[in-house]
Amino acid sequence: MKMSSVLPEFTVSEISLAIKRVVEDGFSYIKVKGEISGLKAAASGHIYFSLKDSNAVLNCVCWRGKVAANKVNLADGLEVVCLGSVTAYPGRSSYQLVVEDVQPAGVGALLALFEKRKKDFAEAGFFAAERKRPLPLLPRRIGVVTSPTGAVIRDILHRIEERFPTEILIIGVLVQGEGAAKQIANGIRRLNSLDENKPDIIIIARGGGSIEDLWAFNEDEVLYAAIESAIPIISAIGHETDYTLLDFIADKRAPTPTAAAEMAVPVRLDLQHKLGQFQARSQALLKYNLSLYQNKMGNTNNALQKVRHNLEILKHKLDNKSKALNEAVNRYLKDKDNICRTAGRLLDAHNYKNILKRGYSILRAEDGKIIYRCEKAIKCEKMQAELQDGMIQLYVR
């Protein structure tokens, strides 16, 4: 059989380049699901592996820069969905998927990744009880990060209005699917960045769903935004049996969005009832204390009356003692005065000047010393004689 002369003729290079254009143009941005096989990490930091299913194998490469940004720890046997583009190599007649992002595929893979992240965050101390902050009793303002439509936001608004009407700031976000984690994280940061209208509590909520539906609340971006939040967070994701990593990081975990509203605000009527009870107890306690103090004042007054009576008795006794003491002192002073007068008279009687008045004199040497003997007088050339009315000089010849 002869080849038709009307068929176009290509060189090997031409057909290879044509196939490359078709492949790369047709599969420039795709998602491919498969099981990782033959994983190899090169010294350069690039990762090479294959995606396979029951019928085919696709070579894949993840460049070093994308490996660092990837949140999934790749491993053989892990079922994943890879986002990337197909590149063909004419020189080898081969093609491969250049991977930009990897997400786990299937419940098993998500559960494995969930447990891995749970372990990492627990070891970092982000689940520790000492990190949990108490919720304010009466928040002035509540921020809610959730879908702006649907039963969740309606239930929260209705429950808060029913219990204790409070100002609510709603940050509407996607709660599942592509872009949901980024919006939720941005919502948390936005509420924290407010100045005048900053809420006292943040509720992050959505309805129930599968692990795939709730996966945005297990993403690092959301978890770190919650960790960095200066405002206490209530996590209300899914139903009571649903758990996300955000539940472990939040300050409080509510089993349902309605329960989160109940945690956030008390019942106003209950508070009013308790306030009435406190007021009644306060009044009863005040009356009891007043009665107690009145009794104490009466006892104190009686004691004071007794003290005053005793003081009068003591004063009377003190007056008598003082009078007796004054009399004793006066007698003592009078006796001492008599003794002094007698001693004075004796001193006057023995005063040598009185003796001089009777005609006696005292001889003194030139140095003023008294001359008692004649032998000393004979030795003196000059002497003084003290008489009643003065001194005279005497000369010895």
* Same domain (yes/no): 155, 67: no
DSSP string, 58-104: EEEEE-HHHHHH--S---TT-EEEEEEEEEEETTTTEEEEEEEEEEE
| CATH of residue 202 | 3.40.50.261
Segments forming the whole domain that contains residue 370 = 352-395
How does DSSP classify residue 388? T
Provide the token pair at 338. Answer: 């008599």
The answer to whether the beta carbons of residues 396 and 380 sit under 8 Å apart is yes
* Same domain (yes/no): 185, 101: no
Sheet harboring 362-364: ordered strands across? 362-364, 382-387, 390-395
Low-confidence ranges of the chain (pLDDT < 70): 1-5, 71, 270, 273, 397
* Same domain (yes/no): 83, 23: yes
DSSP string, 316-327: HHHHHHHHHHHH
Q: Say what the alpha-carbon torsion angle 168, 169, 173, 175 is, to the nearest 10 degrees.
A: -30
Nearest Cα to Cα of residue 104 among 34, 49, 174: 34
Please check whether residue 88 lies inside any domain of the structure: yes
* Same domain (yes/no): 100, 143: no
Q: Which residues contact 82 (CB under 8 A, 6 or more apart)?
A: 31, 32, 33, 34, 51, 60, 97, 99, 101, 102
Tell me how far apart the alpha carbons of residues 91 and 270 are, in angstroms, rounded to a whole number.
Answer: 79
- Of 264, 280, 298, the last residue of a domain is 264
3-state secondary structure labels for all residues of 233-289: EEEEECCCCCCCHHHHHCCEECCCHHHHHHHHCCCHHHHHHHHHHHHHHHHHHHHHH
* Same domain (yes/no): 150, 197: yes
pLDDT value, residue 2: 55
The answer to whether the beta carbons of residues 66 and 82 sit under 8 Å apart is no
How does DSSP classify residue 380? -
* Same domain (yes/no): 99, 146: no
* Same domain (yes/no): 143, 231: yes
Domain count, the chain: 3
Please check whether residue 6 lies inside any domain of the structure: no
* Same domain (yes/no): 76, 144: no
Tell me how far apart the alpha carbons of residues 65 and 45 are, in angstroms, rounded to a whole number.
Answer: 8
The amino acid present at 92, given as its one-letter code, is R
- Of 264, 286, 319, the last residue of a domain is 264
Q: Which residues of 302-319 are buried (b: 16+ CB within 10 A; e: fewer)?
A: eeeeeeeeeeeeeeeeee
pLDDT value, residue 67: 84
Tell me how far apart the alpha carbons of residues 317 and 248 are, in angstroms, rounded to a whole number.
Answer: 84
Task: Measure Cα distances from 170 to 145, 156, 158, 247, 328 in Å.
Answer: 6, 11, 14, 20, 99
* Same domain (yes/no): 239, 166: yes
Please check whether residue 324 lies inside any domain of the structure: no
Please check whether residue 277 lies inside any domain of the structure: no
DSSP string, 8-29: ----HHHHHHHHHHHHHHHTSS
Beta bridge partners of 236: 205
Count CB neighbours of 183 within 10 A. 17
Residue 395 dihedral angles phi and psi, to the nearest 5°: -120, 135
| CATH of residue 66 | 2.40.50.140
Please check whether residue 172 lies inside any domain of the structure: yes
pLDDT value, residue 4: 59
Please check whether residue 69 lies inside any domain of the structure: yes
* Residue pointed to by tokens 């219990």: 163
Please check whether residue 198 lies inside any domain of the structure: yes
* Same domain (yes/no): 57, 160: no
pLDDT value, residue 256: 92
pLDDT value, residue 185: 97
- Of 264, 281, 306, the last residue of a domain is 264
* Same domain (yes/no): 150, 251: yes
* Same domain (yes/no): 87, 36: yes
Please check whether residue 326 lies inside any domain of the structure: no
